A and B are shown apart, each in its own frame.
Chain A
């Protein structure tokens, strides 16, 4: 008897009892569906993080304000803008590993273009910002030196903002838009970098300070909210980081033993750590889902044992008519395999449906990869083989004479 015939016999037997067959494979269905869903959500989350890591740019350090002491009282991190434009200059000039650096201040505001308007992040910065983040223009140009020095009324739009404010086919370059009543000329539109990154508008740092944020109490003329800096090579990250730290401690006159009033972060590394955490959680969930697979396997074994008992006479007949022990074993093993494979296939379909529903309802990114589906199917085949083997073996060991005597 061939494997193919084994599957034919198995399908025939399972068709005779569709409800029982379905209930038997339910555990596998649920197990596989959970595994596929968890994988889809997990790898979706990873994709999102990867996109963020990519959008930050390679080898980027981010310097944000740290703890500030006023009269011995430790204030919350970032409660005071401790970084300045001259810090940016110093970093650029004194640390050779730094290729580019830029300070930024940011807030949100309404942008108006003719009848359309859009609420977005306004980031005041310098052209260095785009260099640090390897962010190319789709059209137009970056800020000129004059515009940066003299609070030029110019703006560079992220692609989402451009799409929201301008009709398709409308050229934004040269158009006038308004932010907080200040008219600005669009000089550039940036390339797409990812949904979370593209919803932004950039103005020169001087423009932001003078025209939008000038009145804010914690802003002095030289302050920036954060600095980003690009390190030339991957291997220089740690060195550049400690050089920046000692440079800024010295510049900010942080007394020895006291906490820095700034923090140097490697956002990509932080996100990679986060990615590792996601992977761990996903693996944990897969492990939990596998328990369902185990339960499904036990249920299959249980039903198969009952089925072998019920069909003892059939086994006797098949043996008398020339079925070898291994033919009987194959027949029942095929039945278990078909149950598991069918359950696995239904589970994969269910998992895909479920994760697409989750994606739509929760707005998460999910990603279904062949690897997860393959893994789920391998799991179900393994379940079929492991839990089908004992009943099949038992069936094959029945004495044909005894089997023929049973009712």
Chain B
């Protein structure tokens, strides 16, 4: 049985930052694959290079050495414009601090990636409604970020990440700013998404959250220290403490 082409594959990826002659290697010689439909937790202490890794998977950054492949294509060989439009269509970002545009309401925020996919306004708003509905936020469509709680803002941000039906959702500590109850709800949302086949990579500090993902990648000082897949099924929402 030949293995299907991985969605993402990292081969000996390193990323070195150079500031004032001082070189900091944030990610060192990391290799792994992510297949379609996986949900992966990335763990590690602060400064271990998790965000740096995520930025490279999300086509926001390029490795200093090694290669990142998205659906078999070396992203470093794509043009900047092509990487941008791949971000619009194939990647959904969820940030710890939500990163909604304060001056736009929820539905406009959700529709934003479609602006860069060349989708017309009517279709954008229709799809944004569907996306908000999927995260249970349709009733707040015309509210501005400041009128929403952290958990609600994060749901809107997830709706935005999902709107273009991306290949992969990348979440950098999506529950980091939320209390444990709300965090659990957001996590349940990710779990539900993953059950529909959505590939998800999630950075987390919370071991409890990580254990609920089938696979956990651990980084330390930029190096991959473990990559474990547990056989356990994702917990039901009721099991989340």
A interface residues, Cβ below 8 angstroms from B:
1-2, 5, 12-13, 16, 313-314, 316-327, 400-401, 404
Q: Is the CB of B87 within 8 A of A401?
A: no
CB pair A322–B84 under 8 Å, yes or no, is yes
Q: Is the CB of A5 within 8 A of B99?
A: no
The answer to whether B81 and A321 have CB atoms under 8 Å apart is no
Known: A16-B103, A404-B99. A322 touches B117 (CB 8 A): yes
| B residues in contact with A313, CB < 8 Å | 99
Known contacts being A1-B115, A400-B60, A401-B60, is A317 close to B80, with CB within 8 Å? no
Cα(A338)–Cα(B55), bound, Å: 34
**Given A1-B115, A318-B112, A401-B60, are A323 and B84 neighbors across the interface (CB < 8 Å)?**
yes
Provide the residues of chain B in CB contact with A322, threshold 8 Å. 84-89, 113, 116-117, 164
Question: Could you say which residues of chain B place their CB within 8 Å of the CB of A327?
Answer: 84, 116
Within the complex, the shortest CB–CB distance from B87 to chain A, in Å, comes to 4
Q: A320 contacts B60, CB within 8 Å? A: yes
Candidate in A12, A321, A327, A404 with the most chain B CB atoms within 10 angstroms:
A321
**In the complex, chain B residues 67-117 whose Cβ is within 8 Å of any chain A Cβ:** 80-81, 84-89, 93, 95, 99, 101, 103-104, 112-113, 115-117
B60 to A321, Cβ gap below 8 A? no
Docked-complex contact A314 and B101, CB < 8 angstroms: yes
By a beta-carbon cutoff of 8 Å, the part of chain B in contact with chain A is 55, 58, 60-61, 80-81, 84-89, 93, 95, 99, 101, 103-104, 112-113, 115-118, 160, 164
Question: Which residue of chain A has the shortest Cβ distance to B55 in the bound complex?
Answer: A401
Q: How far is the CA of A321 from the CA of B99 in the complex (A)?
A: 11
Q: How far is B169's CA from A344's CA once the two chains are assembled, in angstroms?
A: 46
Q: Which residues of A contact B99 (CB under 8 A)?
A: 313, 316-317, 320, 404
Closest Cβ–Cβ distance, residue B98 to chain A (whole Å): 10
7 A-B pairs with the lowest CB-CB distances in the bound complex, closest first: A322-B88, A322-B116, A324-B84, A322-B87, A321-B113, A324-B81, A317-B99
B115 in complex: contacting residue of A5, A16, A314, A325, CB < 8 Å: A5
Complex CA–CA separation, A313 to B102 (angstroms): 11
- The answer for the CA separation of A161 and B117 in the assembled complex, in Å, is 74
Among residues of A, the one whose C-beta sits closest to the C-beta of B104 is A12
Q: CB distance A320 to B61 under 8 Å?
A: no
When distances are taken between beta carbons in the complex, the residues of chain A under 8 Å from B115 are: 1, 5, 323
Given the complex of chains A and B, what is the CA–CA distance between A293 and B81 in angstroms?
Answer: 35
Contact residues in A for B89 (Cβ distance below 8 Å): 322
